């Protein structure tokens, strides 16, 4: 007989208890418990801990947590290739102060091409180089969503350094393309610094993105950077700044994709919710945002990740700020799932869901949500999520002697 899986152990410990009763113990839906038992969903540490304690499992459920999968390593170059690549890196990249991390897991042929473009951009910087940088940015963004900013930030900074170096001598058409990808990369770096709770460098890189977008006449990117400024104002709960930038996003001389317009209108509604909570003003804005999102069901280009689940949770934040707590919790319960969001974002919204539970005076549910968010914040190095968890602990001060709240405080301190 083999070792039991997490789901098998949970099913045995549950015994005659209903799925609904067990789900209440873990503050989740009964379908969540069913998925865990049948192996359709991977258990989180927070859920496993809550179930372990509630069912008196003495650590047996936590011991059944699956180990995280390791990403497949990139194929290693041969010894001769390695020596030649090392010489190229020393002679070309390090000599010019460029980050070697700009070029992870690429072959010798591509490395030679990029090295030649750095040394003689006018002759060798071409559309193939631009396409490489675009692929690198896409890979960085995907890695950030799954694992956080730790690795992505050095690669993105290296990309910008290489782009800046090439634009000094590249032909005008290639230079234009390089600056456009540079603007996108700079905006992405601004996001990465925002996620590690460093607002000053985040603002610097958003300003660089705006400069390059203006230099290339990329009007949609200019509007998008203003939207990002509005979003960053939320981290400091600066309602007026958030509202101002959200309105500026909509009023500029650019034509933004409908899904980006939808996010800007939603941000405007949230600003109003924070300033006055007048639902007669907020609801029409949210309805307009929904209509814009429906127009653009197939997103592409900037903010391609913006979709109905993300919009719905942003609306939940808006309702919370307007004092409509039950409506906010209802949206979190309906839309927040690990299937719909990358791990980093899932952890962030778990922390905000905890804040909604705290506002509803449901301290245990708030603390459990905070514990699960903390696990993901640690795994993805998201200081932004840590900040929201600290805010949550402040909200839970009236219940600081409850066991679940003490557990969350202890987990944060350790």
CB 156, CB 104: distance < 8 Å: no
The pLDDT of 96-108, averaged and rounded, is 44
- Rounded Cα distance between 132 and 140, Å, is 12
- Who wins on pLDDT, 342 or 272? 272
Q: Which residue has the tokens 């400024």?
A: 229
Buried b (16+ CB within 10 A) or exposed e, 332-347: beebbbbebbbbbbbb
pLDDT of residue 3: 64
Which distant-in-sequence residues (6+ apart) come within 8 Å of 283 by Cβ?
A: none
Least confident of 75-84, 223-232, 343-352, 390-399: 75-84
Q: What is the pLDDT of residue 166?
A: 79
| Predicted local distance difference test score (pLDDT) of residue 161 | 78
CA distances from 379 to 68, 374, 376 (A): 11, 9, 5
Say if residue 360 is exposed, middle or buried (CB neighbours under 10 Å; 0-12, 13-18, 19+).
Answer: middle
Beta strands (DSSP E) in 225-289 are none
Share of the chain above pLDDT 70, in %: 81
Q: Which burial class, exposed, middle or buried, applies to 262 when counting CB atoms under 10 A from its CB (0-12, 13-18, 19+)?
A: buried
Full-model pTM: 0.69
Residue 274 predicted with pLDDT over 60: yes
Per-residue pLDDT at 121: 53
Asked whether the predicted pLDDT for residue 45 surpasses 70, the reply is no
pLDDT at 80: 62
- Answer whether residue 98 shows pLDDT above 50: no
Q: What is the pLDDT of residue 52?
A: 74
The percentage of the chain sitting over the pLDDT mark of 90, rounded to a whole number, equals: 44
pLDDT of amino acid 1: 43
Distances (CA, A) of 266 to 75, 293, 316: 45, 11, 11
Six-digit token string for 259: 């899904």
Question: CA angle 88-90-94, nearest 5°?
Answer: 115
Given this model, what pLDDT does residue 226 score?
95
Q: What H or E segment, with its residue span, contains residue 338?
A: none
Query: Higher model confidence: residue 374 or residue 106?
Result: 374
DSSP letter string over 37-103? Answer: HTTSSPPPHHHHHHHHHHTT-TTHHHHTPPPPPPPPPPPPPPHHHHHHHHHHIIIIIITTT--GGGS
For 97-105, what is the mean pLDDT? 43
103-106, long-range: CB < 8 A, 24+ apart: 103/158, 104/74, 104/155, 105/74, 106/132
Contact (Cβ atoms closer than 8 angstroms) between residue 385 and residue 149:
no
Query: Which residue ranges form the domains of the chain, and what is each CATH number?
Result: 6-63 (1.10.260.40), 78-217 (no CATH)
Least confident of 91-95, 280-284, 324-328, 409-413: 91-95
Burial (CB < 10 A; 0-12, 13-18, 19+), residue 118, is buried
**C-alpha to C-alpha distance for 133 and 140, rounded to whole angstroms:** 10
Q: Which of 144-158, 169-183, 354-368 has the highest average model confidence (pLDDT)?
A: 354-368
Instruction: Of 112-121, 203-212, 229-238, 343-352, give the lowest mean pLDDT range.
Output: 112-121
pLDDT for 76: 45
Question: Is pLDDT above 70 for 61?
Answer: yes
Task: Band the pLDDT of 70: cuts 50, 70, 90.
Answer: very low
Has residue 232 got a pLDDT over 80?
yes
Lowest pLDDT segment from 186-195, 282-291, 355-364:
186-195
Alpha-carbon gap, residue 43 to 352, rounded angstroms: 20
Give 180's contacts (C-beta < 8 A, 6+ positions apart). Answer: 212, 213, 216, 218, 221
Give 9's pLDDT tier (boundaries 50, 70, 90): confident
The Cβ of residue 271 has, within 10 Å, a number of other Cβ atoms equal to: 27
| Cα separation, 220 vs 252, whole angstroms | 9
d(CA 191, CA 194): 5
pLDDT at 95 over 90: no
pLDDT at res. 365:
95
Task: Tell me the pLDDT tens digit for each residue of 121-166.
Answer: 555 556 777 787 788 788 888 888 777 787 787 778 777 877 887 7
Res 359: pLDDT: 97
How far is Cα 367 from Cα 164, in angstroms, rounded to an integer? 46
| Sign of the torsion angle spanned by Cα atoms 140, 143, 145, 147 | negative
Q: pLDDT value at position 72? A: 45
Please state, in angstroms and rounded to a whole number, the distance separating the CA atoms of residues 355 and 345: 16
Report CA 339 to chain centroid distance, whole Å: 14
């Amino acid at each position: 007989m083999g070792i039991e899986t997490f789901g098998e152990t949970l099913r045995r410990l549950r015994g005659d208890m209903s799925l609904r009763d067990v789900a209440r113990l873990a503050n989740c839906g009964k379908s969540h418990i069913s998925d865990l038992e049948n192996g359709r969903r991977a258990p989180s540490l927070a859920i496993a801990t809550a179930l372990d304690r509630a069912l008196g499992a003495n650590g047996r459920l936590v011991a059944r947590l699956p180990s995280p999968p390791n990403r497949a390593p990139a194929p290693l170059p041969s010894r001769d290739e390695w020596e030649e690549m090392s010489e190229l890196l020393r002679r070309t990249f390090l000599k010019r102060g460029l980050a070697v991390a700009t070029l992870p897991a690429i072959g010798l042929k591509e490395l030679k091409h990029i090295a030649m473009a750095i040394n003689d951009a006018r002759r060798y910087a071409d559309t193939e180089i631009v396409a490489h940088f675009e692929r690198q940015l896409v890979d960085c963004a995907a890695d950030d969503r799954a694992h956080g900013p730790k690795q992505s930030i050095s690669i993105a900074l290296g990309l910008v350094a290489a782009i800046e170096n090439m634009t000094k001598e590249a032909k005008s058409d290639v230079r234009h393309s390089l600056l456009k990808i540079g603007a996108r990369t700079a905006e992405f770096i601004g996001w990465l610094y925002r996620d590690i709770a460093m607002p000053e460098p985040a603002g610097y890189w958003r300003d660089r993105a705006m400069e390059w977008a203006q230099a290339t006449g990329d009007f949609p990117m200019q509007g998008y950077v203003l939207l990002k400024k509005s979003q960053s104002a939320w981290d400091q709960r600066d309602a007026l700044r958030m509202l101002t930038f959200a309105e500026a996003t909509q009023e500029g001389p650019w034509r933004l994709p409908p899904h980006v317009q939808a996010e800007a209108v939603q941000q405007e509604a949230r600003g109003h919710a924070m300033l006055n909570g007048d639902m007669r003003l907020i609801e029409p804005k949210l309805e307009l945002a929904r209509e814009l999102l429906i127009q653009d069901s197939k997103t592409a280009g900037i903010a391609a990740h913006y979709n109905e689940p993300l919009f719905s949770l942003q609306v939940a934040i808006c309702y919370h700020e307007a004092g409509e707590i039950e409506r906010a919790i209802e949206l979190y319960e309906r839309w927040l799932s690990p299937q719909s969001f990358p791990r980093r974002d899932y952890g962030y919204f778990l922390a905000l869901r905890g804040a909604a539970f705290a506002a509803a005076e449901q301290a245990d549910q708030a603390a459990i949500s905070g514990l699960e968010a903390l696990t993901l914040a640690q795994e993805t190095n998201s200081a932004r999520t840590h900040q929201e968890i600290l805010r949550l602990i402040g909200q839970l001060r009236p219940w600081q002697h409850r066991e679940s709240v003490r557990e969350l405080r202890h987990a944060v301190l350790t």
